[in-house]
Every structure is written in structure tokens, then in C-alpha cells.
């Protein structure tokens, strides 16, 4: 019997023949940190441990940049001191972007790697056939110290995507559709593989959005096979010696779900759960106060391009805040070169500096009681973006841009 992508990677990293259900100790290839670095550091100090290999730690600051108050400023100051003290070599500071985006841009991601991250959305790197998953501060500190940790080898669920998407339907709609059909628990403790011609048809940006939201299905890994598109992306980002990376054809899956994406409509996750999904067409007209385009889920170039295409020559509803936050400064720069930023500003968008923005309720676009926000982010939990009495609707960049124009939830195919 062949091996799934998860089994292949955990076999290599543990030096065993890892099959679903086994508990193995595996060596990490890369650890990705963000603003949680100080908490990890404090645990290392408490336990009197040293870093196992500072060349395998990648760190940016993304949740609180630039700092919004004195307390956070003190934390970030402390983190810069920690980076110097631990000699973290791959530190990208406050001016690069979201950790779940920039490790790929900077050439740190390659197929077959085993990656641990502080942030749950580090699963994003499954788009490159890297087994990338999150741990809490204590276990990240343990990995910082030892370079290894225990894993339960996950069984794998395969989503076989058939056909390709219609115009203005995006990969976000696929993963929201899956969340609506299968719920937030289907992937718990499991690996997901997205395959088939539908998966191949997606751009790397589109694949990253799907992998990103695998964690909303509870998944440990959210994987795509690395194909010629993956290899091309990596080459463009300075990674030369890579090859395609696939599951064995006779690998064993816990379940295989075929999903026909040819007739998929734009999807919407209603408050306060990612699995509370309906077609946008059934929800048109719900008034919104904010439309937010950004985050490690959907703040990429493809997302900005389609938004610009939709709002070009039009004006955002005058009572609606249309907030756009690119996921990295590289994306921001390219969007500037392509005239996307200009188009968005002319349409009435507010472009904020790169980072996580209001996604987790820390700053820049916080919601008041009674406000409604349509967002390309990945979580619409109660209170996530501010008031417990605000509502968050999750949708694709196309749907968010269309809704910003009308000031109410709008099917992007109607514009």
C-alpha cells in the first residue's frame, strides 16, 4: 500500500514507516514564529533551555504592526531584543508581511517539508505540499529547544475537485462550500488532500486560500500535490532544486469526496460559524457596514486583481467602509505597479498597512455593536473582530468587492 503526502513526510521526518494512527517523534525542518515569540521565549527561559538551531527559525511580526498602544509597543520592543539574543537568522520584522504568506515569498517553503508554526493558519503552506501545522507556545518552545516533537500520524481525507470554476467564483467558495457540507469537525486530527483537475486548475494564490482554511475544518494539514505550477512559483521565488511531490497512487484514504465545482455559486458563511454556509444569491441585500479584503486567507495578488476588476470605474457605497490590506509588502508593491491600488483608492477603498488588520479584533477596522462586516478572512466567530454584538460574513474577494459597491451583500456575478 502506498503513502499519502502526510505519511510520506512524517516517515521521512521520523525515520520510520509512518502509517495513519502511529505516534512518531519527528524532526522539524522549519519553525515559523510571529508576535507570539515573546511567549515562546519566556517558556524557554523558565525551562532553562537553549535554541536547537537558530537557522531553522523564521520570524516576522504581523498581528500588531505597527503597535497600536504602549503595551504592545513594549512587547514588540522585547521581541526585537529576543531575536538578537536567540540569533534568529531569518527575521523579517514589521515591514514584510504576514508570516503565513512571506515564508513562501522568501523561498523558505518547499514540497515535503515538515513545518511547525505558532499561528494556526500556517496550514497555508500545505498548498506547496508541505506538512505545515500549528502548536501552542509551550510545544513551540519545546521544538525551539529540541527540534522535534511527537505527532500522531493522521489519516487522510481526499477532496477530488472536478471541473473548473466559473467566472467570479473563487477557491474561497470551494472551501466555504466544503465547510458548509461537511462541518468544522470533519478534518479534526486529519490530513486533507485537495486533488483532481479542479485543484490543478487553481493558481498558487487560490490553493493557498484553500489550504489556509483547512484549519477551519479542524485539519492538521491541508495539502495540494506539488505540480508544475508549484515548481514554477517556487522558482520565481528563488527555490531552484525542487521537484513535483505527490501522494502514491495506491495510498489509503479514510474517505474520498468528489466535489463538482463547475456549477458552484459564490458562497457565504453567515454569523457566527464557518459551517453556517449559504449561496450568496440567497442572501443578497443584507446591509453591511464594512467590507474587508485581506488576511493570510485572501490578501494576495489574485484577490486584489479581481477586486480592482470589479470596482474599476465605480464607487464604493458612501456609508460602507471598504478596507483593503495586502498580505505582504511584495504583494502591495506589485499591486501598485499594476495600478490595482490606484483603482481601489479611486473607487473609495481604504488601503491600510500590511499585516493581520482587524481579523482577530486587535486594531484597524474593529466592529461596533450592531455592525455587519463581510470579510475575506477565515473566521466569523462571535466577537472575533470587536463587539460580541457585531456580525461577520465570510466570502470571496469578488463577493466582498461587489458588496462594498452596493453596501449590501451582493453576488459578484451580477455586476
Partner 1 sequence: MKKRFKGKVWRFNDNINTDVITPGKYENLPMPEMSLHCLEPVNPDFAGCVAEDDILVVGENFGCGSAREIAPQALKYLKIGAVIAKSFSRTFFRNSVAIGLPVLISEKAAALTSAGDKLEVDLEHSTVINISSGVKIPVEPLDELLYGILMNGGIFSSFRNT
The contact set with partner 1 (CB under 8 A) reads 23, 39, 43, 47, 49, 64, 71-72, 75, 118-120, 134-139, 141-142, 146, 150, 184-185, 188-189, 215-216, 218, 220, 273, 275, 360-362, 366, 379, 381-384, 386, 388
Smallest distance, partner 1 to C-beta of residue 406, A: 29
How distant is the alpha carbon of residue 374 from its chain centre? 17
* Nearest CB to partner 1, comparing residues 25 and 414: 25
* Nearest CB to partner 1, comparing residues 82 and 310: 82
Measured CA distances, 172 to 103, 206, 231, 268, 381 (Å): 21, 8, 23, 10, 17
Smallest distance, partner 1 to C-beta of residue 70, A: 11
* Nearest CB to partner 1, comparing residues 137 and 159: 137
CA-wise closest residue to 127 among 1, 28, 224, 261: 224
* Preceding amide of 272 cis, omega within 30: yes
Distance CA 352, CA 152 (A): 40
Smallest distance, partner 1 to C-beta of residue 365, A: 13
- Which residues sit opposite 230 in a β-bridge? none
* Nearest CB to partner 1, comparing residues 161 and 327: 327
Smallest distance, partner 1 to C-beta of residue 339, A: 34
Distance CA 324, CA 337 (A): 16
The H or E element that residue 257 is part of is: strand 255-260
The three-state secondary structure class of 415 is coil
Distance CA 415, CA 412 (A): 6
Smallest distance, partner 1 to C-beta of residue 341, A: 28
* Nearest CB to partner 1, comparing residues 14 and 343: 14
* Nearest CB to partner 1, comparing residues 198 and 299: 299
Smallest distance, partner 1 to C-beta of residue 64, A: 7
* Nearest CB to partner 1, comparing residues 137 and 245: 137
DSSP string, 55-96: GGEEE---TTSS-SSHHHHHHHHHHHHHHHHHT-SEE-TTSS
Smallest distance, partner 1 to C-beta of residue 68, A: 9
Written as nine digits, the cell of 109 is 517553503
Amino acid at each position: 500500500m502506498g503513502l499519502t503526502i502526510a505519511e510520506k513526510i512524517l516517515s521521512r521526518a521520523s525515520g520510520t514507516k509512518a502509517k495513519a494512527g502511529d505516534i512518531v517523534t519527528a524532526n522539524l525542518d522549519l519553525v515559523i514564529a510571529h508576535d507570539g515569540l515573546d511567549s515562546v521565549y519566556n517558556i524557554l527561559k523558565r525551562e532553562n533551555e537553549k535554541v536547537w538551531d537558530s537557522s531553522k527559525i523564521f520570524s516576522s511580526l504581523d498581528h500588531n504592526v505597527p503597535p497600536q498602544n504602549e503595551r504592545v509597543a513594549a512587547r514588540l520592543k522585547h521581541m526585537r531584543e529576543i531575536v538578537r539574543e536567540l540569533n534568529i537568522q531569518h527575521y523579517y520584522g514589521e515591514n514584510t508581511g504576514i508570516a503565513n504568506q512571506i515564508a513562501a515569498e522568501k523561498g523558505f517553503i518547499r514540497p515535503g517539508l515538515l513545518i511547525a508554526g505558532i499561528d494556526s493558519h500556517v496550514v497555508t503552506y500545505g498548498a506547496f505540499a508541505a506538512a505545515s501545522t500549528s502548536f501552542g507556545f509551550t510545544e513551540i518552545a519545546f521544538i525551539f529547544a529540541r527540534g522535534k516533537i511527537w505527532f500522531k500520524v493522521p489519516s487522510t481525507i481526499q477532496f477530488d475537485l472536478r471541473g473548473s470554476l466559473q467566472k467570479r467564483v473563487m477557491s474561497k467558495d470551494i472551501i466555504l462550500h466544503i465547510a458548509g457540507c461537511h462541518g468544522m469537525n470533519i478534518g479534526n486530527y486529519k490530513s486533507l488532500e485537495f486533488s483532481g483537475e479542479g485543484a490543478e486548475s487553481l493558481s498558487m494564490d487560490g490553493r493557498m486560500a484553500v489550504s489556509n482554511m483547512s484549519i477551519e475544518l479542524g485539519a492538521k494539514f491541508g495539502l495540494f500535490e506539488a505540480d508544475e505550477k508549484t515548481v514554477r512559483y517556487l522558482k520565481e521565488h528563488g527555490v531552484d532544486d525542487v521537484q513535483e511531490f505527490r501522494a502514491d497512487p495506491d495510498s489509503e484514504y479514510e474517505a474520498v469526496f468528489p466535489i463538482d465545482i463547475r456549477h458552484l455559486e459564490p458562497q457565504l458563511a453567515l454569523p457566527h460559524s464557518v459551517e453556517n454556509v449559504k449561496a450568496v444569491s440567497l442572501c443578497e441585500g443584507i446591509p453591511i457596514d464594512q467590507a474587508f479584503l485581506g488576511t493570510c486567507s485572501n490578501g494576495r495578488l489574485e484577490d486584489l486583481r479581481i477586486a480592482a476588476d470589479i470596482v474599476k470605474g465605480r464607487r464604493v457605497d458612501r456609508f460602507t467602509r471598504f478596507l483593503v490590506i495586502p498580505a505582504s509588502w511584495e504583494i502591495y508593491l506589485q499591486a501598485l505597479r499594476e495600478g490595482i491600488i490606484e483603482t481601489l483608492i479611486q473607487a473609495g477603498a481604504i488601503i491600510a498597512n500590511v499585516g493581520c488588520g482587524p481579523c482577530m479584533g486587535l486594531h484597524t477596522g474593529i466592529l461596533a455593536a450592531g455592525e455587519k462586516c463581510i470579510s475575506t478572512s477565515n473566521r466569523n466567530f462571535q466577537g472575533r473582530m470587536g463587539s460580541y454584538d457585531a456580525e461577520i460574513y465570510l466570502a470571496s474577494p469578488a463577493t466582498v468587492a461587489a458588496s462594498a459597491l452596493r453596501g449590501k451583500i451582493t453576488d459578484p456575478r451580477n455586476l
